[in-house]
């Protein structure tokens, strides 16, 4: 046999396992392909070779078809149970002894080689496998780099969310944590409604940003601890549009901008800023509206104490199909049966008792 057709002093980084129950054949294959720059291990035991593939890393397997105690196709069948990526070339003593094409395809064998005193044809088969292997390595590397880049982008995205959320919270100690709670309630509602992950993620982020526009509201209106004048309330009401404008200017947040704009719309069309009615209001905004109103009523504000859980529930029920989407209210009521558990998840509890005679201010938040 000619053993030095393509001699190379450089290692090409490709690992081959040569399997044949004839030691002379495996030694010949090893010498030939090592001279061509490959890393080559050998085995004369088919069952031991399966374990070598399982425990090590090989790119290409060269194996004889007729062996004992199991034949080459049985070896491949076992290997394919745990390794789908190994390139396999089957060696036969004669073309008539090769397995049928159907078997070769089923076992994902890349080719077969009829043994001869020349390895030219086998070398071409191996080189064809190597080209595919190197292309796959490039693709994997590109995918890894893309995954890393996406991970960094996602980290920046989450950091931006955190910074903006904390900036809004910093305006008023009485609303600190409000956006987190609205986001939590809204996502729980969305999941209870059976919405998909993308929808739930939009609702979660919209909940965090629903009051972003309050950054543009003057302190004399936002931080006032007594009743608002009509002019001051009008300033407060601009926050949904301002939030929409801010989020629309950032490409990654455009998907939630419309939700933020519409979270104060009412089912009966008496909300703001656009007077949308019923199903014309984005469903995600309707979800945020229920979660927002509930947290506004159950948390302590600058101008009043918490209205309490039961009062808030009664106000939501009273607002079904007028202020709120009634189906969303009903879904939230089911969740509120486990309100204590939700509070523990939020690591937040209500401390203030409801004040007698207090009125809901769910529209002025």
C-alpha closest to that of 289 among 311, 303, 271, 307: 271
The DSSP call for residue 324 is B
Considering 89-93, 223-227, 294-298, 351-355, the range whose residues carry the highest mean pLDDT is: 294-298
What does the pLDDT read at residue 1?
41
Q: Is the pLDDT reported for residue 148 higher than 60? A: yes
Phi-psi region of 109 (alpha: psi -120 to 50; beta: other; left: phi over 0): beta
**For the chain, which domains are there?**
15-141 (3.40.50.2300), 173-346 (1.10.3210.10)
What does the pLDDT read at residue 274?
97
Residue pair 49/60 in contact (Cβ under 8 Å)? The answer is no
- Mean pLDDT score of the chain: 85
Cα–Cα distance list, 159 to 39, 116, 224 (Å): 46, 64, 30
Q: Which residues are catalytically annotated?
A: 214
What does the pLDDT read at residue 59?
95
Q: Please, what's the b/e burial string for 118-157 (b: 16 or more CB within 10 A of its CB; e: otherwise)?
A: ebeebbebbeebbeebeeeeeeeeeeeeeeeeeeeeeeee
Q: Supply 120's token pair.
A: 């030219």
Q: What share of the chain is helix, strand, coil (3-state, %, to 5)?
A: 60, 10, 35
Cis omega before residue 273 (within 30°)?
yes
Q: Is the pLDDT reported for residue 97 higher than 70? A: no
What does the pLDDT read at residue 253?
85
Residues 276-323 pLDDT 10s? 999 999 999 999 999 999 999 998 776 678 899 999 999 999 999 999
Sheet holding 60-64, edge to edge: 39-43, 15-19, 60-64, 87-92, 111-114
Residues 30-39 pLDDT 10s? 999 999 999 9
CA 101 distance to own-chain centroid: 41
What does the pLDDT read at residue 206?
94
Write 228-237 long-range contacts (CB < 8 A, 24+): 228/364, 233/364, 236/364, 237/264, 237/272, 237/273
Confidence of residue 196 (pLDDT cuts 50, 70, 90): very high
Q: Please, what's the b/e burial string for 80-98 (b: 16 or more CB within 10 A of its CB; e: otherwise)?
A: eeebeebbbbbbbeeeeeb
What does the pLDDT read at residue 217?
85
Q: What's the predicted TM-score (pTM) here?
A: 0.56
Q: Is the pLDDT reported for residue 363 higher than 70? A: no
Residues 245-285 pLDDT 10s? 988 887 778 899 999 999 999 999 999 999 999 999 999 99
Q: Please, what's the b/e burial string for 316-333 (b: 16 or more CB within 10 A of its CB; e: otherwise)?
A: beebbeebbbeebbebbe
Residues 49-60 pLDDT 10s? 999 999 988 999
């Amino acid at each position: 046999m000619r053993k030095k057709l393509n001699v190379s002093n450089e290692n090409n980084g490709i690992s081959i396992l040569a399997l044949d129950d004839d030691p002379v054949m495996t030694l010949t294959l090893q010498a030939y392909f090592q001279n061509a720059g490959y890393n080559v291990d050998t085995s004369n035991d088919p069952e031991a070779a399966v374990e070598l593939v399982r425990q090590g890393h090989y790119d290409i397997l060269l194996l004889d078809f007729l062996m004992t105690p199991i034949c080459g196709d049985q070896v491949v069948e076992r290997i394919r149970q745990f390794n789908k990526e190994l390139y396999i070339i089957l060696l036969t003593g004669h073309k008539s002894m090769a397995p049928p094409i159907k078997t070769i395809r089923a076992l994902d064998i890349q080719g077969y080689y009829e043994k001869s005193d020349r390895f030219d044809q086998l070398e071409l088969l191996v080189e064809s496998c190597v080209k595919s292997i190197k292309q796959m390595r490039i693709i994997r590397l590109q995918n890894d780099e893309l995954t890393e880049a996406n991970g960094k982008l996602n980290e920046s995205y989450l950091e931006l969310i955190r910074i903006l959320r904390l900036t809004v919270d910093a305006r008023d100690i009485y609303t600190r944590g409000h956006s987190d709670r609205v986001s939590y309630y809204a996502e729980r509602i969305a999941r209870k409604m059976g919405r998909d992950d993308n929808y739930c993620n939009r609702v979660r982020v919209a909940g965090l940003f629903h009051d972003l526009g309050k950054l543009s509201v003057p302190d004399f209106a936002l931080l006032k601890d007594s009743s608002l004048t009509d002019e001051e309330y009008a300033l407060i009401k601009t926050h949904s549009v301002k939030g929409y404008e801010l989020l629309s200017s950032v490409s990654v947040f455009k998907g939630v901008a419309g939700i933020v704009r519409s979270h104060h719309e009412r089912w009966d069309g008496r909300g703001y800023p656009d007077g949308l009615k019923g199903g014309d209001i984005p469903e995600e905004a309707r979800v945020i509206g229920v979660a927002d109103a509930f947290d506004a009523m159950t948390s302590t504000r600058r101008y009043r104490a918490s209205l309490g859980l039961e009062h808030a529930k009664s106000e939501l029920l009273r607002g079904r199909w007028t202020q709120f989407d009634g189906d969303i209210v009903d879904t939230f009521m089911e969740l509120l049966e486990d309100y204590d558990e939700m509070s523990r998840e939020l690591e937040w509890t209500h401390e203030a008792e409801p004040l007698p005679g207090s009125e809901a201010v769910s529209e002025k938040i």
